[in-house]
Structure 1
Amino acid sequence: MEFSLPQWGQLITFIMIAFALGMDAFSLGIGLGMRGMVTQQLFAMSGTIGIMHILMPLAGMTLGRHMNEWVGDIAVWVGGGLLCFLGGNMLWSSLKEASASSIGSVTTFWGMLVSSFSVSLDSLSAGFSLGILSTDAPLALGLIGFFGGLMGGLGMLLGKFLGSWAGNYGEALGGLILLLLGFKILM
């Protein structure tokens, strides 16, 4: 199959957008990986991030351009607030040596869902923008989901390595990373 010049341009643009949206997942992955995830949890979390990175831009495309500015601002605040909450909870539980079933735990379904949702909210805004343009939606959504899951998984692998290197302070450092990422999004 041969692409025309505009199709190549659209593909390269989608890859750059997908990579940029995956950077939040990568940062989240580092913070979560420092908690000492097992391989099964890593794959489950990567898959959840990938799915949310497909669903959120799809919702954005569906909602359309009339709500772009209003929902875009809310998405930033909600995503940043959730990351601050998760990071603060991880930091607090590491300092208080709370049980592994805390709210910030990614071993639970809800923990995975909240974490994935928080880093996928920027994909909602990107979906609004892609919905305005005449784009190849399946290609865009596939690339965004693939890069989100892949980069989240790579971040978790790196975080797992850093967590074993950091010892007992890995969870606290991971929580601090998530907290700082949340503040960065809110600023």
Structure 2
Amino acid sequence: MNVEAILGELLTLLIMALALGMDAFSVGLGMGLIRLRARQILYIGITIGIFHIWMPLAGMLIGRVLSDTFGTIATLLGGGLLILLGVQMVFASFKKDEKPLITPVGFGLIVFALSVSLDSFSVGLSLGIYGAKTFLTVVIFGIVSMVLTWIGLLVGKRVQSWLGSYSEALGGSILLAFGIKLIFPF
């Protein structure tokens, strides 16, 4: 393989990683609108990066064996989880006396990371069918999504200080809208 072909493949994977990571940025922006400490932001970014490694890896491995029917199912599940998180955040913003049902800590972080990375499972299915380089692909996807998540969370945190009590409702609305967009692409 010549240098131009390798650079072309790297550029293609980077563009795909940026496209997949933009959902992590958007959702990170929404989640950043709730009060998060720097350590939580670090863990959230790392967790989403890890999910963006193993979800496309699982997709690539399965994609080499099965059809891409599961891509649609993964997208619908991811959209449904984001809608659930978004609705929960909007309702929690109006009930300040209660703790949110799902927060980006522990199991809530796993649900959050899973909902953001399910679309990368679909992409992994396609890449597995076409025989893409597995290690390079998942490392690029993981690093790009981790960095974009951190950027989204930090921007969201900055905006949260400006919006005050409305920031959690706005963050929930962003997650809700993104979940609807995943289920009903328009």
Q: Distance in 2 between matches of 1:65 and 1:84?
A: 31
Aligned residues, how many? 184
Aligned partner of residue 67 in structure 1, secondary structure: coil
1:62 deviates by 1.0
RMSD: 1.5
Q: Distance in 2 between matches of 1:63 and 1:26?
A: 27
| Runs (4+) off by over 3 Å | 65-68
Q: Distance in 2 between matches of 1:69 and 1:60?
A: 9
Residue 83 (structure 1) aligns with: 82
Q: Distance in 2 between matches of 1:36 and 1:21?
A: 25
Contact 1:68-1:125 within 8 A present in 2 as well: no
**TM-score, normalized by length of structure 2?**
0.94
| Identity across the alignment (%) | 42
Equivalences for residues 1-187 of structure 1 within 5 A? 4-65=3-64, 67-100=66-99, 102-106=100-104, 108-187=105-184
1:135 deviates by 2.2
1:65 deviates by 4.5
Q: Distance in 2 between matches of 1:160 and 1:24?
A: 17
Q: Which runs of 5+ in 2 are unaligned?
A: none
**TM-score, normalized by length of structure 1?**
0.94
Which region of structure 1 is more displaced relative to structure 2, 161-170 or 57-66?
57-66
Residue type at the aligned position of 2:80: G
Residue type at the aligned position of 2:115: S
